[in-house]
Amino acid sequence: MTERRRVVVTGLGVISPVGIGKELFWDALRNGRGGVSRITRFDPSNLPTQIAATVDDFVPEQFISRKDVRHMDRSTQMAVAASRMAVADAGLAEGGYDPYEFGVCYGSGIGCLGTIETEHANYLADGPRRITPFLAPMMIPNMPAGQVSIQLGLRGVSRCIATACATGSDCIGDAFETIRRGAATLMLAGGVEATITRFVIGAFANCKALSRRNDSPETASRPFDRDRDGFVMGEGAGTLVLEDRDHALARGARIYGEVLGYGATADAYHVTSPDTTGEPMARAMQLALREAGLSPTAVDYLNAHGTSTPLNDKFETKAIRLIYGDAAYKIPISSTKSITGHLIGAAGAVELIATLLCMQHDFIHPTINLENPDPDCDLDYVPKVGRPAKIGIAMSNSLAFGGHNASLVVAHPEAV
């Protein structure tokens, strides 16, 4: 049997409601500066939820030709931009690799719905002749992955995964496994979401998933708080360069961390609610730790899914207790979504980037807005203010509508 390769992270690219690029993103995380505000992209006054975490300073032409921008949905634009950032950050912008050894695994939880909404309105107003001939390739859900491959000239495997809010983590897990088994040397992995539209906000609000704290948007995303009332829809993209460790060392690459384990399970329970026992999520964490060859007590930090919904936070806490036992009370845990809102398909990737940046800077970012802890959420959620900490081993969790669970374990380069 061929020995499995070791996989490291050598590049990061992020577009978030609190900053574009890893430096601005980290500054917001470290200082607990949130990105939720009243929606200004359209008039939300007749919607029950009127707030979101938007990226208002994204200029796609800074990363993509004007011609190509016109033929891409906003989500695809963000995926390409974040991927260009990650490749440049990894020192690969000038090439120096076999394009057939460089693959892509990229996904979106909702897809290119903004473009579909616009073109459907054109169709209703003036008939089929008003539909852009580019709609078909713009709207299909694999297009972020496809355009990342096209724009960067990557000819290795190119896959799209759609597991709702677990998409980003599953894409990273799949890329990790692809390199481990020798099917690629380098992979771009991540997720994207850009669906802050009237239709999408209305749909999620009507299923009682979104916060309605319209009078105080900056405090609306409050994971593990007793007064939480739903998540805040966000947009953005996160891309990581995963690389065979020997290849990275040979070219003198900077290494952010090593991916040690990935675990995934299904609740097989309900379309929106997590399993109330917490057992399937606990099993995903257990699988990731088993692949990493670690016990739960080895983990120094956990980045929780932490959506700010009544059910998710309660049952994720239960899952953490199941796998970690008494040690659960000694592990610092934080929710990036308290700062960024919920980036849906991008969440897992952006949150693993946050985890790696915490590791790099020896600092755990806070869970902001955690003013009144829920008695059912009684762990150390690093409330309101971050703290210095040495992180050798970290875990990042994702849960999703449909019952998808994913967990990733990463290590500081000096810890393995």
Break the chain into its structural domains and give their ranges: 8-250, 258-415
CA distances from 250 to 95, 189, 254 (A): 15, 22, 11
What average pLDDT does range 223-250 have in this prediction? 98
For residues 243 and 253, the answer to whether their CB atoms sit within 8 Å is yes
The reply to whether 258-415 shares the fold of 8-250 is yes
In this prediction, residue 114 has a pLDDT band, given cuts at 50, 70 and 90, of very high
φ/ψ of 362, rounded to 5, equals 55, 45
Determine the Cα–Cα distance for residues 178 and 156; give it in Å rounded to an integer.
11
In this prediction, residue 374 has a pLDDT band, given cuts at 50, 70 and 90, of very high
E strand or H helix at 383: none
What average pLDDT does range 348-359 have in this prediction? 98
Residue 169 has pLDDT above 60, yes or no: yes
CA distances from 82 to 64, 89, 111, 298 (A): 11, 10, 16, 32
Residue from 383, 390, 398, 385 nearest 414 by CA: 390
φ/ψ of 329, rounded to 5, equals -80, -5
What average pLDDT does range 219-245 have in this prediction? 98
Catalytic residues, by residue number, are 165, 305, 342
CA angle 60, 63, 68 (to 5 degrees): 70
Which CATH code of 3.65.10.10, 3.40.47.10, 2.30.38.10, 1.10.3210.10 fits the domain covering 8-250? 3.40.47.10
- Residue 387: strand pairing partners: 364
The SS3 call for residue 127 is coil
Residue 1 has pLDDT above 60, yes or no: no
Which ranges of 224-308 does DSSP label H, i.e. alpha helix?
245-250, 279-292
Give the CATH number of domain 258-415.
Answer: 3.40.47.10
In this prediction, residue 3 has a pLDDT band, given cuts at 50, 70 and 90, of confident
Determine the Cα–Cα distance for residues 90 and 104; give it in Å rounded to an integer.
15
Residue 302 has pLDDT above 90, yes or no: yes
Q: What is the DSSP letter of 99?
A: G
